[in-house]
Each structure stands twice: as C-alpha cells, then as structure tokens.
Amino acid sequence: MREPPTGDELLDCAARALRARVLPQLPEALRADMLMALRAMAIASRQLRAGDAPLRVECAELGAALQAPCGDVAEANRALAAAIRTGQADPGQPRRAQLLQAVRGVVRRRLAESNPKILRDGA
C-alpha cells in the first residue's frame, strides 16, 4: 500500500507551488508553457482521482446507445461517430435520443477531466 500523499495530491501540491512561486517569476515568453504544464498536471490529477470509472460508464452508455457490446471505448466512439454520419441521429430517426444522450455523456465526462469549470458554470 502507498502512504499518503497520493499521486493526485502530489500533483496538486506541485501545481500550487509552481503557480504561486514560479509562474509569477517567469518571463512572459515562458508563461504559456507553464500554464499548459499546470493544466496537464490538473488533468492528470483528476484522472488519477477518477480511476477507470469514467471509461466503464462511457463504455456502458455507448454500448446501450449503439445496441452492441462495448469492448473498447475508442472503437465504440468511432461507431458512434459512424452512426451520426450515416444519419441515425437525424431528426425523426428512432435512435436519435439514445445517440444524442451518448454524445452528451461523452462530452460531459471529457469536460469533467479537461475543464470542469465549464460544467460548474452551467454548461
């Protein structure tokens, strides 16, 4: 077993230190690089906290929407895109609601990892 702090806690601590002490000292030319690195650390921290639960949920939702078992999330997302491209999510189509619900779920989970502030602000 690992002792505290956990990996996500270590990333959060390092990011706070970099943001508070290093970022203000950086020349303007390097600030964008530091902000990108801090954002990457925040995403990694959220992924560590969530584990593989979001992938399991996404796979289950995509499998239900596509009416097919989901063995691979990336493949299921490709199948979802193909269903949309072939018009299965167009108005009047019987699977439209399920497919659009799956898209919304995918987008919300991705935002929860990459930019949760958007969700908190009412997206």
Q: Is the domain of 39 the same as that of 84?
A: no
**pTM of the predicted model over 0.85:** no
pLDDT of 121: 77
Q: Is the domain of 59 the same as that of 115?
A: yes
Which helix (H) or strand (E) covers residue 84, if one does?
Answer: helix 73-85
Q: Is the domain of 103 the same as that of 73?
A: yes
pLDDT of 3: 83
Q: Is the domain of 16 the same as that of 61?
A: no
Domain hosting residue 14, numbered range: 7-50
2 lies in some domain? no
Taking residues 42-64, report their average pLDDT. 94
Whole-Å CA distances, 103 to 5, 84, 110: 36, 10, 11
pLDDT of 123: 58
Q: Is the domain of 19 the same as that of 46?
A: yes
pLDDT band, very low/low/confident/very high, at 122 (cuts 50, 70, 90): low
Q: Is the domain of 29 the same as that of 42?
A: yes
50-53, long-range: CB < 8 A, 24+ apart: 50/112, 50/113
pLDDT of 4: 87
In total, how many domains does the chain have? 2
Q: Is the domain of 43 the same as that of 59?
A: no
Q: Is the domain of 38 the same as that of 97?
A: no
Taking residues 78-107, report their average pLDDT. 96
